[in-house]
Structure 1
Amino acid sequence: MDFFKLKNHGTSVKQELSAGLTTFLAMMYIVPVNAIIMSKTGMPMDALITATALITIIATVLNGIWANTPVAMSVGMGLNAYFTFGLVIGMGIPWQTALGVVFLSGMLFVILSFTDFRIWIIKSIPVDLRRAVSAGVGTFIAFIGLQQMGIVVNNDDVLVGLGNLKDINVLLGIFGLITVLIFWIVNIKGAFILAVLLTSVIAWICSISPYPTEIFSIPASITPILLQLDVKSVFFDSAGVFTLSLLPVVLVFLVTDLFDSVGTLTGVGTRAGIFSEDNKDGLNNLKKTLEADAAVTVVGSVIGVSTTTAFVESASGVEQGGRTGLTAIFCGLFFTLTLFMLPLFKAIPANAIYPVLIMVGILMFSEVRDINFKDPAIMVATFFIVALMPLTYSITNGLAFGFLSYLLVRVFRREWNEINIGIIVLAIISFIVFLVN
């Protein structure tokens, strides 16, 4: 075990095992949640359950070996919702083409992993705007959760309205939301998956949803979604005409994944002290973790899932004492259990899942607490990012309005020292978004 330098990190195999199990329980929910979300595109849920479990195992174990950090990875919440409801359902893009978008964004991430672009983009964008992006994505996925639960519905007179709160399925979703909130507030380990299971049990007992006749089975085949990505359609329309209409979407996946990963790794790394400047291996650990993140996004698109990223639930394992990649490897190995839990996952009702989406949105939205609203440019940009992502059903539009408004306010206030090349480039890309829409 000297490979992981356990003694140097003040840990042991037993401690890393305990930390890996803790992380697994905290993020186990991603398998059924991601499968239900992405199945809305028409992709078979059985294959998605297997694919989600597989990419989680591959990504987490790879990061443990390559970067030697206690960081678990899986299909990112937020971008999987954007993949489903923004691209496939919202823009009418076939899921195969959407996988092509994920593949290209992952390839760009891999290429940029060998350059200083990540550092440049991070330094170019004010930290408050990065927080605003996280908060905006949070409002977007929470809105999707509320909509899918039936709490927010279409209203031809005022666009949206309150759903039928007497509907048994809506009530089940509300019960699930209250449950996950309570479990999170009292800091119960594995709060998300426990809330999902409790809500499911209530649904089975009350005959709202059919209960599972078995718990375990042989893993479903991923053949229906394996190697189904369509990269060509990202660049050419149905008539074979070259188009750049999906380029902004590729960039959104790239930039959002970068922000999500850096934000998550910063939080987890701070607790474990693995990415600090005082740690001589800190920056190298961060670099390698981001490299693993980029590589598995490419692999994930080939397997048939959306963008893969570092999971903030890794912090639970860090709190348990996890300090090395052995924690990640144990966590990944525990996820092999989910490969055989298809009957159980399929029996979980959708409204036991969507409350978790809302809770994740709430946690992401909490980033607004640290934003400096006394700065006019930050205030205006944050408003457009947070408001327009859910209102236009598009992360792309929210980012575009945010970056453009930020630059305009800076220009009109003649705050030239607050403007850099990175902001200008992002503003130009944002302008292109409106030209190609």
Structure 2
Amino acid sequence: MVKKESQNHSNTQQARNHQKHNPLSLKQRVEQYFQLPTKGSNIKTEFLAGFTIFLSMLYAIPVSAEILSQAGMPKEALITAITLITILSTLVCGIYANTPVAMSVGMGLNAYFTYGVVQGYGISWQQGLGIVFVSGLIFALISLSNFRVWILKSIPKNLRFALCVGLGAFLATIGLKGLEIFTLQNDNLLLGDLSHITTLLGIVGIMVALVLYVLKVKGAFILTIALLSGIGFLFEIAQTPTQIFSSPASIAPIALELDVFGILKFAFVPVILMLMVTDLFDSLGTLSGIGIKANLFYGLDHTERDTPLERTLQIDAVATMAGGLLGTSTTTSFLESASGTAAGGRSGLSAVFAALFFCLTLFILPLFLSIPSFAIYPILVVIGAFMFLEISHIDFSDTDSLIASFFIILLMPLTTSITIGLSAGFLVYLLLIITQGHWSKISGGLLCITFLSVIPFIF
């Protein structure tokens, strides 16, 4: 026994001496830190995944700035602030949580901030930012506990698959509407003008992306975007950038301008709760959907602690507080992160690369803004289609969760709201299991989720 222990000690010492005289290269250190070998990935794949996430999310900066500017905030400062919070939150998520999840100002949440909070309540955007900060603070305190993870784990497995399917349908709907393949006229959803050149190119892009992806061509999405952009520039369908470099605008007009004390009134409690619950459900829905598709979070189906999941949720909450300080609305995990996992990204290195690419937008925004929308939207449609395939994993013998899944999948794209689809699904699920007396399916987490689900419909 003594001899064996001595031999083990000798082997350990030899390994240490070998490591001391043969230090790891930078590449090996990166692979080791982000656990690339165990995740079945490599630096090249993570680089392509990060670039794909970046291109898929790029639209969020100008669109969010446009929406928030309607609350009375200066657009130039907003572009810089939104870019900064995107870089910081995504970078920290990659390094700290080691998950391929990018974060930015939520597309639905910024609309709620502008039209529901600032304009709806007739308050200043400074007070609106105060509401964002306070909701983020409450969110952060919750995230430091096991509450958010407990809630996420309380979602039945069938409904988690339904979330992934619903998010896929939601994403595809965004892409199809953006390409004007379908249009809304007189409250009716109609087939668009398929003879329009950008719509035709979008359809071609969907076909190209599908074929390349099915053939497992590396960088299928990037190649599709590059091809469509090149066609747009060549035939002057898209505007070729006249300027490449530009200096970022100052965020001084909106940074630290939040009014916290002005919203510490009982009348604003429902608004703060609504914003917090919406962010909670957006985050849970997005992370659950992406996690199911890429098998990122093992803690969803096991009792052991899932550190990457917990850390991703914590960063999401803290980023909302930081966004309020910088001058933006609620920050959340972005569904477009699914484009990175679809491209093979499995670690936080994808998020790190995406954050670094977003740094470029501070200085060469005109170049990246020149990428036409008909080159981006086909990717969202294809990603949505492959996320929708998770419907095959739903247990069709369980009527309760099957009907609830139907409402989740249907309402997400119809209402363009992750929160409403998720909320309606849980309300229906609890109603069905109570009606049929399936008491074993009821848990504290499910009751808590259903209670939170009622808030969006009340307010």
Q: Give the TM-score taking structure 2 as reference length.
A: 0.74
Matched, 1:26 2:75: no
Report the Cα distance in structure 2 between the residues aligned to 1:305 and 1:345, rounded to whole angstroms: 23
The verdict on how the C-alpha distance between 1:416 and 1:27 changes in structure 2, with shifts beyond 3 A counting, is: same
Q: After the TM superposition, which of the residue ranges 400-409 and 122-131 deviates more from structure 2? A: 122-131
Q: Which residue matches 2:198?
A: 169
Q: Which residue matches 1:345?
A: 368
Report the Cα distance in structure 2 between the residues aligned to 1:203 and 1:427, rounded to whole angstroms: 48
**How far 1:331 sits from its partner (Å)?**
5.6
Q: Which amino acid aligns with 1:254?
A: L
Say whether the 8 Å CA contact 1:229–1:302 is kept in structure 2: yes
Q: After the TM superposition, which of the residue ranges 242-251 and 384-393 deviates more from structure 2? A: 242-251
Matched, 1:417 2:443: no
Report the Cα distance in structure 2 between the residues aligned to 1:168 and 1:39, rounded to whole angstroms: 28
Say whether the 8 Å CA contact 1:248–1:429 is kept in structure 2: no
**How far 1:341 sits from its partner (Å)?**
2.5
Report the Cα distance in structure 1 between the residues aligned to 2:34 and 2:447, rounded to whole angstroms: 44
Matched, 1:187 2:216: yes
Q: Which residue matches 2:157?
A: 127
Aligned counterpart for 1:308 among listed residues 318, 332, 343 = 332
Matched, 1:197 2:226: yes
Q: After the TM superposition, which of the residue ranges 413-422 and 389-398 deviates more from structure 2? A: 389-398
Identity %: 35
- Where in structure 2 are there 5+ consecutive unaligned residues? 1-25
Q: Which amino acid aligns with 2:50?
A: F
**How far 1:114 sits from its partner (Å)?**
1.9
- Where in structure 1 are there 5+ consecutive unaligned residues? none
Matches within 5 A, 1:3-14: 6=32
Report the Cα distance in structure 2 between the residues aligned to 1:201 and 1:100, rounded to whole angstroms: 44
Q: Give the TM-score taking structure 1 as reference length.
A: 0.77
Q: Which residue matches 1:379?
A: 402
Matched, 1:137 2:141: no
Matches within 5 A, 1:206-285: 206-222=235-251, 226=255, 241-242=267-268, 244=270, 247-264=273-290, 283-285=306-308
What's the secondary structure of 2:246's corresponding residue?
Answer: coil
What's the secondary structure of 1:41's corresponding residue?
Answer: helix
- Post-superposition Cα deviations, 1:143-176, rounded to whole Å, max 9, x if no partner, equal 23322322211232x6211111122232233233
**How far 1:215 sits from its partner (Å)?**
3.3
Q: Which residue matches 2:420?
A: 397
Q: Which has the higher helix share?
A: 2
Report the Cα distance in structure 2 between the residues aligned to 1:191 and 1:230, rounded to whole angstroms: 46
What's the secondary structure of 1:247's corresponding residue?
Answer: helix
Say whether the 8 Å CA contact 2:167–2:286 is kept in structure 1: no
Matched, 1:57 2:87: yes
**How far 1:416 sits from its partner (Å)?**
0.6
- Post-superposition Cα deviations, 1:187-212, rounded to whole Å, max 9, x if no partner, equal 33333343223222212222222211
Q: After the TM superposition, which of the residue ranges 224-233 and 206-215 deviates more from structure 2? A: 224-233
Q: Which amino acid aligns with 2:239?
A: P
**How far 1:286 sits from its partner (Å)?**
4.0
Say whether the 8 Å CA contact 2:94–2:351 is kept in structure 1: yes
- Post-superposition Cα deviations, 1:78-107, rounded to whole Å, max 9, x if no partner, equal x52x33667757997699588667655543
How many residues end up aligned between the 2 structures? 420
Say whether the 8 Å CA contact 2:54–2:358 is kept in structure 1: yes
Q: Which amino acid aligns with 2:242?
A: T
Q: Which amino acid aligns with 1:190?
A: G
What's the secondary structure of 1:293's corresponding residue?
Answer: helix
Report the Cα distance in structure 1 between the residues aligned to 2:286 and 2:354, rounded to whole angstroms: 21
Q: Which amino acid aligns with 2:436?
A: R
Q: After the TM superposition, which of the residue ranges 141-150 and 310-319 deviates more from structure 2? A: 310-319
**How far 1:410 sits from its partner (Å)?**
0.5
The verdict on how the C-alpha distance between 1:317 and 1:328 changes in structure 2, with shifts beyond 3 A counting, is: farther
Q: After the TM superposition, which of the residue ranges 217-226 and 136-145 deviates more from structure 2? A: 217-226
Say whether the 8 Å CA contact 2:87–2:356 is kept in structure 1: yes
RMSD of aligned alpha carbons: 4.2
Matched, 1:74 2:103: yes
What's the secondary structure of 1:180's corresponding residue?
Answer: helix
Report the Cα distance in structure 2 between the residues aligned to 1:435 and 1:140, rounded to whole angstroms: 24
Aligned counterpart for 2:318 among listed residues 290, 295, 298 = 295
Report the Cα distance in structure 1 between the residues aligned to 2:451 and 2:344, rounded to whole angstroms: 40
- Post-superposition Cα deviations, 1:380-427, rounded to whole Å, max 9, x if no partner, equal 111111112222343333223211111111112110101122222333
Q: Which residue matches 2:458?
A: 435
Q: Which has the larger radius of gyration?
A: 2
Q: After the TM superposition, which of the residue ranges 213-222 and 170-179 deviates more from structure 2? A: 213-222
What's the secondary structure of 1:164's corresponding residue?
Answer: coil
Report the Cα distance in structure 2 between the residues aligned to 1:8 and 1:210, rounded to whole angstroms: 39
